[in-house]
Amino acid sequence: MKEKVILAYSGGLDTTTVIPWLKENFDYEVVCCCVDVGQGAELDGLDERARLSGASKLYIEDVIDDFSDNYILPCVQAGAVYENKYLLGTAMARPCIAKKLVEIARKEGASAICHGCTGKGNDQIRFELGINALAPDLKIIAPWRMTDVWKMQSRQDEIDYSRAHGITFEFSTDESYSRDRNLWHVSHEGLDLENPANEPNYKHLLKMSVPPEDAPDKDEYITLTYEKGVPVKLNGKAMKFSDIIRSLNEAGGRNGIGIADIVENRVVGMKSRGVYETPGGTILMEAQRQIEELILDRKTMEVKKNLANKLAQVVYEGKWYTPLREAIQAFVKVTEEDVNGEVKMKLYKGNIIKAGTTSDSSLYSESLASFTTGDFYDHHDASGFITLFGLPDRVRAYRQHKMLTEEDVK
């Protein structure tokens, strides 16, 4: 029997071309696997396309709830944002997809997994680190890095190769943006975006959102209810997390929320420019900040902020299946125990405006924060606190000005 390879299949020209290429060059039986993380209509017609291109089987695996609950939610709770802007849409999805690819490989008794990532991007790293962590015995095939065997250098080359192998689907030769879509976001790269001097044509580019100037002239209010750091209701209606994301995508999209134009540092060392649409995710990140600022103490927030940056880096680099990610997530889980309450926000032309936050776990005290004196806080106590809190700085200043000797300290 032929060895089997599991192909991470999107249905596009690249991965469709890979099917006959794998059969011709390695004599594999090709089993395609499309992991549904919220691509929507992109999955239509994949079964016919995969089979007519030479695949023996196609799996379409819905992991949207797994993706939402076990990959997106921990990053939202941590506040993980890469380089201050990127909400990790693609980076969070790749380890989830890798896990399912390994599961199908085990089910099929496959000896290899193939992906269609280029040799310049982050995704090759994310897929391969995930696969290696879960199944180090499986071989990984990356056609775009195998230049001695993979001779195609353009879309037209791939179309010609496909035609020569009996694949007659229509593939456009028109250049288009490189996009990645899932439940959390849509990313756009390539073409005019490759020059950071170019302003994006948002009216032509956007898929989930409208430009802020085209959003309604009327504001829209939304309310999120939290239990232990998890949003469980939207506008008073109980929903699972994936449905909350879907609804917020619609609300954020029509109000021009969550459009980010980023030049980021890829893992492989180069800078790349992309436009990201994350309407619902941007709202969720802001809501999480608003509820936590009432509840978490200053030191916990300080440590959490540092760990958020570290988690963003870990996820961006594809190191999801590591003890470090697990340890950071364990810390974050503890911080979320008392994160309960409601966040009300106003959406208006690309802006998220705070409209009131309440929580029974709030550490905010109106009487403490006011200028009046109560039993719980005596203004005189601040004098001793300031003296001790600033003592190292005061001693240093005396030393610098040679106004203090060791005898004075005694």
Question: Could you list the active site residues?
Answer: 14, 94, 123, 178
In the DSSP assignment, the letter for residue 19 is: H
What is the Cα–Cα distance from 344 to 290, expressed in whole angstroms? Answer: 9
**Unique residue bearing structure tokens 């994949």:** 46
- Using alpha carbons, select from 84, 122, 119, 117 the residue that is nearest to residue 101: 117
Rounding to the nearest 10 degrees, give the CA dihedral for residues 89, 90, 92, 93: 120
What is the Cα–Cα distance from 346 to 294, expressed in whole angstroms? Answer: 19
What is the Cα–Cα distance from 321 to 133, expressed in whole angstroms? Answer: 6
- Using alpha carbons, select from 347, 70, 66, 69 the residue that is nearest to residue 232: 69
Rounding to the nearest 10 degrees, give the CA dihedral for residues 236, 241, 243, 247: 60
Give the DSSP H/E element, type plus range, for residue 347: strand 341-348
